[in-house]
Amino acid sequence: MKNLLFSLSFLFLISNGYGQTYVPFYGTVVEQVSETNVLTNLTEFENLGIKRRGTTALQNTLDWLKAEYLSYGYTAAQIQEYSFTNAGTTCKNLVVTKVGTLYPDKFVIICGHYDTITGKGTNDNGSGVVTIFEVARLLQNIPTEYSIKFINFSGEEDGLVGSQNFVSSVVNATNPKMDIRLVFNIDEVGGRADMTNDTITCERDTGSPTSNNAASNAFTNQLITCTQLYSPLNTYLSYAYASDYMPFEDNNEVITGFFERNETPHRHTSTDLLVNMDPHYVYNIAKAATGAMLNFAVASTTLATNDLSNEYQVSFYPSPAKDFLNISLGTLTDSHYTFTLVDLQGKSVINKQIENAQLIETVSLTGLSKGIYLAVLETAKNRISKKIIIE
Ligand SMILES: [Zn+2]
């Protein structure tokens, strides 16, 4: 059975990577997007009030976001807040990290702002918030090759202040800077109550710098295909502007985005409310976004976690480990490789070139905090990773 599953998943991996055909397992995940959750979460978002900088409503919304992610099974260690100053007030971006199995230090970011201005902002951008919730809920227990950061930005309505701060003080704060595969921004996807909402605008980068535009175009094409494969929506190709992906674009990252095709006349007013939008449209957006994120982060294609990590009998021990970790090359014959230890936020805490490799190499863990890490052994041809515990 295992062999059969493995062969099937291998076939799907290939067709997904090149032809981007329908992956049945992704389809079963997308079918679990809940219209009830979408409606309930939109209502709760609306009831939290006007989420302007410096308000209690904004802080209450942040607390609500954290409670939601915890309820989906994310741990406190996976949730980080980043404070920044916004016109004399303190605002916070919320970041939830899911570590990838193969590329733990390379990130697919899915993001949208949770602050509002003037009104309660149920469309702009409660619709994006609840879409990200459904993606986060459904991907929580599905292994993905790339790490994912679910980000709820604040300060968007004050001029992209939160995302600008995140790029300068988090993405660019390390050397090398954070390695980002893609930024997928979702802003104002609520549609209009007085219209038929059957099309989503997919946004690609057409701006400067131009060196990242071809990659943005390629990922936006994938977004279009995934929307068609996993939701009933039609797509409309347009360009990215005026939302939280722009600071990333300026930083030469690869971006894509969702924006409603029927634009609301209620944006930034007191009538940006559930009654004026189309929650069934948001439900379909959540399906498209879930399918796209399974594809972008390269999710496992079966529920049975594949056995690729057992290849070549590579092992890391003891686990739990304390002062040191042994790396066994198993049946690999490489004379040099890179060993990386990555924490739950996707940060490399050890990155070591091993030359003239012996069957067993030992690395020191001195100074590392207790917790769960991903150990990664990378040779010229193979990349093998496993979770380990340090206590
Ligand atoms: Zn917005």
- Domains in the chain, start-ordered, CATH in brackets? 2-296 (3.40.630.10), 309-390 (2.60.40.3080)
**pLDDT at site 314:** 83
- Residue 250 has which token pair? 């300026």
Distance, CA 232 to ligand 1 centroid (Å)? 24
Q: How far is the CA of 323 from the centre of ligand 1 (A)?
A: 48
Residue, of 389 and 305, whose pLDDT is higher = 389
- Give the number of other Cβ atoms within 10 Å of residue 248's Cβ: 25
Which residues are bridge partners to 146 per DSSP?
Answer: 103
List, for residues 130-177, the tens digit of each pLDDT value. Answer: 999 999 999 998 989 999 999 999 999 999 999 999 999 999 999 899
Alpha helices in the chain (DSSP H): 2-18, 24-30, 35-47, 56-71, 128-139, 161-166, 213-230, 246-250, 279-296
Q: How far is the CA of 116 from the centre of ligand 1 (A)?
A: 8
Residues for the chain: how many in total? 391
**CA 200 – CA 210 distance, rounded (Å):** 25
| Each residue's pLDDT tens digit, 296-354 | 999 988 764 444 445 677 888 888 899 999 898 877 889 999 999 998 888 899 999 99
Q: What is the whole-number distance in angstroms between the Cα of residue 267 and the centre of ligand 1?
A: 8
pLDDT at 128 over 50: yes
* Ligand 1 mean position, distance from CA 378 (Å): 41
SS3 58: helix
What is the 130 CA–ligand 1 centroid distance (Å)? 13
Nearest to 285 by CA among 239, 243, 234: 234
Calpha distance 319→16 (Å, rounded):
35
From ligand 1's centre to the CA of 303, what distance in Å?
Answer: 35
Ligand 1 center–CA 78 separation, angstroms: 25
Q: What is the mean pLDDT of the chain?
A: 91
Q: What is the mean pLDDT of residues 199-223?
A: 97
Q: What is the pLDDT of residue 319?
A: 80
Sheet holding 199-204, edge to edge: 79-86, 89-98, 146-153, 103-113, 179-186, 255-260, 199-204, 234-239
